[in-house]
Amino acid sequence: QRRGLRLSAPAAIQVTVRDALNQALDEELERDERVFLLGEEVAQYDGAYKISRGLWKKYGDKRVIDTPISEMGFAGIAVGAAMVWLRPVCEFMTFNFSMQAIDQVINSAAKTCYMSAGSIAVPIVFRGPNGASAGVAAQHSQCFAAWYGHCPGLKVVSPWSAEDAKGLLKASIRDDNPVVMLESELLYGVPFEMSEQAQSKEFVIPIGKAKIERQGTHVTLVAHSRPVGHCIEAAAVLSKEGVECEVINLRTIRPMDIETVEASVVKTNHLVTVEGGWPQFGVGAEICARIMEGPAFNYLDAPAVRVTGADVPMPYAKILEDNCIPQVKDIVFAVKKALNI
């Protein structure tokens, strides 16, 4: 207090995606004693990416569990625990390694609720970094959004900002269905503004609801995860040329909020999808198909355009890697193609 004026703290703060995820895990472990975290190096080492920093010291061996290097093994343990109403958070060091456990994720977790007519819930979260990182080559750079989004029985979320990360992880842990949460390793250290509301322990983001990050009138850009940032950068570049892009952060891959995309396309009459995954049968392909099948198709003034990763295994060399991942210039080019300018 100074000269009779109360100096209040700023409503929003800067928080990295790493810290937002850590905060969400801490709050949910504290809130519900059935929640526990397991995976490689999540306990004593504080996590391979330091997402679980401090949680083992705070909650102990029963709530934060280091596992052997066997994805099939610890994913199976986690699914079994979920079937008896514990709420495991199963961390894969990278989702590329989830292929070792894909039978547990799809055949055990995703299908059980359906096959049991709903009598067996599987409240589990599979989470970890997904898609390309930097210099980790083909075996560590795949995007699994389309893979897991293909499967009935799963919910699939893909955060971009710190608020996305916190709100979606908390919602995923509280959900009674198996949820796959696809994070970006390259975003872990990136700070985002976190609103006062998002700092609350009860802050959750509904699964299945997209967010319009930027309003626009000329073209709709739809993306998830790291490419959302590229779309916002491309929109800033195009704005200087008189083109106003509406940027939609998909947030959830399954169930997909196609209604928000449709409403935007009705307004802008043009659509560009952006993703880091391969083009064939991708998330962008699904969005384009849904738009074509629905009422928004009649409002399109030009064919939809997809911006994707290159249709090759990811190279190791940086210059080749950069050319395999969508860049801002690629999005600008796609928008101009869609608008025929």
pLDDT digits (tens, 9 = 90+) for 87-138: 999 999 999 999 999 999 999 999 998 899 878 999 999 999 999 988 889 9
Tokens of residue 333, six digits: 């080019």
Active-site residue identified among 28, 140, 163, 230? 140
Q: What is the pLDDT of residue 47?
A: 95
What domains can be seen in the chain, in order of their start residue?
Answer: 14-199 (3.40.50.970), 211-339 (3.40.50.920)
Specify whether the CB–CB gap between 251 and 283 falls below 8 A. no
Cβ contacts of 169 within 8 Å, gap of 6 or more: 21, 24, 25, 28, 125, 127, 159, 181
Concerning whether 71 is annotated as a catalytic residue, the answer is: yes
Strand order in the sheet with 245-249: 211-214, 245-249, 219-223, 271-274, 305-307
C-alpha closest to that of 183 among 155, 211, 214, 156: 156
Is the C-alpha dihedral spanning 331, 219, 155, 175 positive or negative? positive
How far, in Å, CA of 126 to CA of 105, rounded?
A: 8
Q: CB neighbours of 147 closer than 8 A, spacing ≥ 6?
A: none
What does the pLDDT look like over 172-220, one tens digit per residue? 999 999 999 999 999 999 999 999 999 999 999 999 999 999 999 999 9
Q: What is the pTM of this model?
A: 0.94
CA dihedral sign of residues 125, 131, 134, 135? positive
Closest-CA residue to 170 (of 216, 125, 115, 232): 125
Rounded to the nearest integer, the mean pLDDT of the chain is 95
User: Minimal CA–CA distance to 224: which of 154, 299, 148?
Assistant: 148
pLDDT band at 167 (very low <50, low <70, confident <90, very high): very high
- Residues 6 or more apart whose Cβ sits within 8 Å of residue 96: 139, 140, 141, 142
pLDDT tens per residue, range 272-325: 999 999 999 999 999 999 999 999 999 999 999 999 999 999 999 999 999 999
What does the pLDDT read at residue 2? 43
pLDDT by residue (tens digit) across 212-245? 999 999 999 999 999 999 999 999 999 999 999 9
218 is catalytic: no
Could you say which DSSP state residue 245 is in?
E
Give the pLDDT of residue 114. 81
pLDDT of residue 11: 80
pLDDT at 8: 54
pLDDT of 6 higher than 80: no
pLDDT value of residue 104: 96
Q: Which of 27, 28, 40, 71 is catalytic?
A: 71
Three-state SS at 42: coil
Residue 17 above 60 pLDDT?
yes
The answer, yes or no, to whether residue 335 has pLDDT greater than 90, is yes
Question: Judging by beta carbons within 10 Å of its beta carbon (0-12, 13-18, 19+), is residue 161 exposed, middle or buried?
Answer: buried
Letter for the amino acid at 182? L
Q: Can you point out the beta strands (E) in the chain?
A: 13-16, 35-39, 64-66, 87-91, 125-129, 155-157, 179-183, 191-194, 211-214, 219-223, 245-249, 252-254, 271-274, 305-307
Confidence of residue 12 (pLDDT cuts 50, 70, 90): confident
Q: What is the pLDDT of residue 10?
A: 59
- pLDDT score at 189: 96
Residue-level pLDDT at 315: 94
